[in-house]
Amino acid sequence: MIETINLTKRYGELVALNNLNLTINDGDCFGFIGPNGAGKTTTIKILATLLKPSSGQANIGGLTIGYQNRQIRPLIGYVPDFMGAYEDMVVTEYLEFFAAAYGIHGSQRRKVVADVLELTDLTYKATAEVNSLSRGMQQRLSVARVLLHDPKVLLMDEPASGLDPRARIEMRELLKELRRMGKTILISSHILPELAELCNVVGIIERGQLLFNGSVEEILKRAKMGHVIHVGVTDRVDDAGKLLAKMPGVKKVTVAADDPTVSNGKGGKVIHLQFDDASGQVFTDIPNVLVNNGFRVTKFTEEPVNLETAFMRLTKGLVQ
């Protein structure tokens, strides 16, 4: 449904996108992850036909951006991170204005407006002024606007930006419903746990270059880079670290600063053990090794790998 081929965007000497190659299939929910300035918004604006690429190609539904924009625009709905103008209108006026722009008229327009209000749970705000709505409601109204013409593809740039926890939950449930409806969704966000729950495919971009593109399971597997075990002992931490460093498969041993969770809440140092994935080490042997050598174990946990830790491990925090 969405494809970019060596997509590049330059602003003078600044390269905002550098040979970006993406493939998003019909029905995918694609999470676009990257630090500020990585090139996410530039990519979305090109796909929304609002920016021209410097080189390369972008296609939506088999149509080429820059050459077939008129045919592409009915296929897409673009939700920016901030809503924009027309705040002096009431909600129904706002939606009817855009429905008219899409060529929807008469009783069909009234029905479509009522349908999208119901879908976004804004029916009870139909006569409210747009500028009286909360930030979360305005974001849902922005989604309602792009659904008026029933697009196949939704391009959403930080739709949960600035929302309170309740509004984020409401937005997440709305996006789940849109995915159940078969929409192809590209969504950029900094709220990574929610992307992991929503998306079946993710891409990580940094300084205009795509670092990873694949399923959530694949990115977690790639980011794991060896199991990390956290071990706490009551005393002789350095001796315990040296002992554990001799275990098969141990790649690195680090003694961390004081951790209030060890030694019954009184504080203490923790040993971080990084293992090679190919080591085949049975981690449950670690407490036995320590106890048999006279150490008292106060903490023994494996570091989980989620989308946030994967992002931190696979990126360097570089910006343009």
For 5-19, the pLDDT digits (tens) are: 999 999 988 999 999
Determine the Cα–Cα distance for residues 206 and 304; give it in Å rounded to an integer.
24
Cα 186 from chain centroid?
Answer: 10
Determine the Cα–Cα distance for residues 227 and 225; give it in Å rounded to an integer.
7
- Residue 222 confidence (pLDDT): 67
Helix then strand then coil, in percent of the chain rounded to 5, is: 35, 30, 35
Buried b (16+ CB within 10 A) or exposed e, 277-315: eeeebebeebeeebeeeebebbbeeeeebebbbbbeebb
**Radius of gyration over every alpha carbon of the chain, rounded to an integer in angstroms:** 25
* Nearest in space to 128 (alpha carbons), one of 141, 119, 139, 115: 141
More confident residue, 265 or 47: 47
CB 319 within 8 A of CB 38: yes
For the cut 80, the answer to whether the pLDDT of residue 314 exceeds it is no
For the cut 50, the answer to whether the pLDDT of residue 165 exceeds it is yes
Query: Mind giving me the DSSP string for 139-153?
Result: HHHHHHHHHTT--SE
Q: pLDDT confidence of 31, banded at 50, 70, 90?
A: very high
CB 195 within 8 A of CB 283: no
Mean pLDDT, the chain, whole residue set: 85
- Residue 279 confidence (pLDDT): 47
- Residue 281 confidence (pLDDT): 56
DSSP state of 304: P
For the cut 50, the answer to whether the pLDDT of residue 267 exceeds it is no
For the cut 50, the answer to whether the pLDDT of residue 100 exceeds it is yes
Determine the Cα–Cα distance for residues 104 and 96; give it in Å rounded to an integer.
9
Least confident of 165-174, 199-208, 277-286: 277-286
More confident residue, 221 or 132: 132
Cα 7 from chain centroid?
Answer: 21
- Residue 268 confidence (pLDDT): 61
For the cut 80, the answer to whether the pLDDT of residue 91 exceeds it is yes
- Residue 226 confidence (pLDDT): 59
More confident residue, 311 or 180: 180
List, in sequence order, the alpha helices (H) in 19-134: 40-47, 69-72, 91-101, 106-119
- The angle that helices 106-119 and 91-101 make with each other, rounded to 10 degrees, is 120
- Residue 20 confidence (pLDDT): 94
- Residue 4 confidence (pLDDT): 95
Domains, in order of start, for the chain: 2-222 (3.40.50.300), 228-302 (3.30.70)
For the cut 80, the answer to whether the pLDDT of residue 254 exceeds it is yes
Q: How many CB atoms lie within 10 A of CB 55?
A: 11
Q: Give percent above pLDDT 70 in the chain.
A: 86
Q: pLDDT confidence of 224, banded at 50, 70, 90?
A: low
Determine the Cα–Cα distance for residues 225 and 205; give it in Å rounded to an integer.
19
- Residue 161 confidence (pLDDT): 77
Read off the pLDDT of residues 185-212 as tens digits, 9 standing for 90 and up.
999 987 777 777 788 898 988 888 998 8
Q: pLDDT confidence of 265, banded at 50, 70, 90?
A: very low
For the cut 90, the answer to whether the pLDDT of residue 166 exceeds it is no
